Chain A
Amino acid sequence: MTIAFPPQTSSSPPGLQPEGWLRYLSFSLDHKVIGLQYMVAGFFFYLVGGALAGMIRVELVSPISDFISRETYNEVLTLHGTVMIFLWIVPVVNGAFGNYLIPFYVGARDMAFPRLNAVAFWLIPPAGFLLIASYFIAGAAQSGWTAYPPLSLTTPAAGQVVWILSVLLLGGSSIFGGINFIATVLKMRRPGLKLMQLPMYCWAMLGTSILVVLSTPVLAGTLVLLSFDIIAHTGFFNPALGGNAVVYQHLFWFYSHPAVYIMVLPAFGLVSEILPVHARKPLFGYTTMVYSILGIVFLGLIVWAHHMFTSATPPWMRLFFTIATAFIAVPTGIKFFNWLATLWGGKIALNSAMLFSCAFIIHFVFGGITGVALAQVPFDIHVHDTYFVVGHFHYVVYGGTVFVIFGSIYHWFPKFTGRMLNEDLGRFHFLITFIGFNLCFAPQHWLGLNGMPRRVAEYDPQFTLMNQISSVGALLMAVSTLPFLINVFWSAFSGRVAGDNPWNALTPEWLTSSPPPVENWKGEAPLVQHPYGYGVTPGQIDLGAATGREIWSSGQ
Chain B
Amino acid sequence: MSADRNEGFSRRGFLAISAATLGGVMLAPGIRLIEIARARAPDQPVSGKVRWGLLIDTNKCAPGCDDCVKACATENGLKDTGHPRTDAQWIRKVELKDMRTGRNNSVPVMCQHCEHPPCVDVCPTGASFKRADGIVLVDRHICIGCRYCIMACPYKARTIVFENITDQNPDVPRGSGCAESCTLCVHRVDRDQQPACVEACTRAGHNAMIFGDLNDPHSEIAQRVAKYASTQIRADLKLNPGVRYQGL
Q: Is B one of A's binding partners?
A: no
Chain A contact residues, CB within 8 Å of chain B: none
